[in-house]
Structure 1
Amino acid sequence: MKKININDIYQFKSKHKKFAAITAYDATFANLFFSHGIKVILIGDSLGMTVQGHCSTIPVKMEDMIYHTKCVRRGAPYCFLIADLPFMSYFNVKDALKNASKLMQSGANMVKLEGGDKILEIVHQLNINSIPVCGHIGLTPQSINMYGSYKIQGKKKSEIKRLINEATLLEKSGVKLLVLECIVQNLSKVITEKLKIPTIGIGSGSSTDGQILVMHDILGITCGKIPSFAKNFLLNNSGIPEAIELYVQEVENKHFPHAQHSFN
């Protein structure tokens, strides 16, 4: 069986084929997801909330990300894996190189960083040292304490200009993929069409090249309220395999996200 690589993801964009991604944190679920159509898995620092029970992603440590990346790689040897660099693990170029290399050695194909112009030099240095980077703009959970709450991005003219500029600069700095989180759908469409690199949306409308959701939201097992942009695919399905297959089908056939899962 062929391993999924970055070229496959770029072909999805060039052929206008949507793709579904999901978070995973252990070998069992990673194996199940790949077996039922998932090609891209994010080992997200969302594990701080979904697995560890914290109120945010801030407490997650490098040791946690290394452990869970190894687990997921063992379960999904053919998947394309993206691993989050956790809060303050890429404070400077030296730390970013050290910590990103640990995730790559643990089985990741790519590392993900949150932020815009402040991380451009870090992205560049990772890129020239053969560490592929996935950017992440819009709602950035590691910055929650700066904003106080999780808010929709891209409604104000200043935000629109900033987000388009961030996306463009990140691409120029060497980012290979870009996550757009909770960005109004018209703006995410503009960004996706402007960039040559693939975009992956979460709560950012249907125009992005790929979609990603947290596995707990897809399966309806999130503690508390499921985000409005998510959908419980296990509801009315007989089991987890069927739920994952439905998620993949709806993304690939452009049936998800619906209007109610997006923001204007």
Structure 2
Amino acid sequence: MSVNKEIKRITTETLRKMKFDGERISMLTAYDFTMATLADKAGLDAILVGDSAANVMSGYETTLPITLDQMIYHAQCVVRGAKRALVVVDLPFGTYQSDPKKALYSAVRVMKETGAHALKLEGGKEIEESIRSIVNAGIPVMGHLGLTPQSINQFGSYKVRAKDDAEAQKLMDDAKLLEELGCFSFVMEKIPAELAAKVTASVSIPTIGIGAGNGCDGQVLVIHDMLGLNNDFKPKFVRRYLNLEDEIVGAVEQYVADVKSSDFPNSNEQY
């Protein structure tokens, strides 16, 4: 059901107020104009132009191959469709991790060329100087802790993170550091729900969960997952609101049959 709201742009300050007021934050990914327009019309608070575009739009096994130019293209499309939602863009692998100057260059390119409202970076202490450089330039940064897909080759799998005490403590420390560095929010991915709730209560900035339980200030999912566009991907944390894969395949099968039988176009569908 569409949410008929006066168009008023959601900002980073809006999200902070939502946490303070106890209002949960809704976030989904989008990678193109059409999907962004529909999500925005539904009243979504924030749209993430995720580097998961590498998986769902380009068919790569990981998020690593997507380039800065490709992320800029997807972000440009989304920004044109989002009239109300806050648009956050992932900085892709290799554009910020090793060099704060390169990180700032990448961040400035995204902000200037897309019109997006914020950026998301994966990691904590390891990328402290890159975050500091970007925030000091006046660019809003959303962090990302827990399972960080850009580090998949280091992790070796997509299993739940921060289950042991040492990794849980590091996540707690990184969360406080992100807050101190001036991040306006951060994502926690695939970590124990109890830990995510504890972290959320310990910081003044909003937390967004994905596979991190109900104790976060908001939730994010890949829109293709929640719409059921890939039935082979069935992680525990995804709730499917539609089954579009079967519906789309069925519709195309019917179109093929109608064309083959000369049923389409009929006399009412031609000039």
Distance in 2 (alpha carbons) for counterparts of 1:37 and 1:107 = 20
User: The residue matched to 1:37 in structure 2 has which SS?
Assistant: coil
The alpha-carbon deviation at position 234 of structure 1 amounts to 1.1
In the TM superposition, 1:106-255 aligns within 5 A as: 106-222=114-230, 224-235=232-243
Distance in 1 (alpha carbons) for counterparts of 2:160 and 2:25 = 23
Q: Runs of at least 4 residues of structure 1 off by over 4 A?
A: none
Specify the code of the residue in structure 1 equivalent to 2:108: S
Distance in 2 (alpha carbons) for counterparts of 1:38 and 1:78 = 8
Specify the code of the residue in structure 2 equivalent to 1:98: Y
Tell me the alpha carbon deviations over residues 41-64 of structure 1, each in whole angstroms, 9 at most, x when there is no partner. 000000000000000000010011
User: The residue matched to 1:41 in structure 2 has which SS?
Assistant: strand
Specify the code of the residue in structure 1 equivalent to 2:216: T
Percent of paired sites with the same residue:
41
Contact 1:34 1:76 in 2 (8 A): yes
Distance in 2 (alpha carbons) for counterparts of 1:110 and 1:126 = 10
Distance in 1 (alpha carbons) for counterparts of 2:230 and 2:179 = 33
Gaps in structure 2 of 5+ consecutive residues = 1-6, 248-271
- Taking CA–CA contacts closer than 8 Å with sequence separation of 6 or more, which of the two structures ends up with the larger relative contact order? 1
Q: Which residue of 1 aligns with 2:71?
A: 65
Contact 1:60 1:86 in 2 (8 A): yes
Specify the code of the residue in structure 2 equivalent to 1:74: R
Residue 24 of structure 1 pairs with residue 30 of structure 2: yes
The alpha-carbon deviation at position 209 of structure 1 amounts to 0.4
Contact 2:101 2:133 in 1 (8 A): no
Specify the code of the residue in structure 2 equivalent to 1:81: V
Specify the code of the residue in structure 1 equivalent to 2:194: N
Tell me how large the CA RMSD over aligned residues is. 1.5
TM-score by length of 1: 0.87
Contact 2:143 2:178 in 1 (8 A): yes
Number of residue pairs aligned between Structure 1 and Structure 2: 238
Contact 2:162 2:171 in 1 (8 A): yes
Contact 1:220 1:226 in 2 (8 A): no
Q: Which residue of 1 aligns with 2:263?
A: none
Q: Which residue of 1 aligns with 2:90?
A: 84
Specify the code of the residue in structure 2 equivalent to 1:14: F
Specify the code of the residue in structure 1 equivalent to 2:143: G
Pairing partner for 2:102 from 95, 108, 111: 95
Q: Which has the larger radius of gyration?
A: 2
Specify the code of the residue in structure 2 equivalent to 1:141: P
User: The residue matched to 2:37 in structure 1 has which SS?
Assistant: helix
User: The residue matched to 1:159 in structure 2 has which SS?
Assistant: helix
Gaps in structure 1 of 5+ consecutive residues = 240-264
Distance in 2 (alpha carbons) for counterparts of 1:152 and 1:180 = 11
User: The residue matched to 2:162 in structure 1 has which SS?
Assistant: coil
Q: Which residue of 2 aligns with 1:257?
A: none
Contact 2:225 2:233 in 1 (8 A): no
Q: Which residue of 2 aligns with 1:37?
A: 43
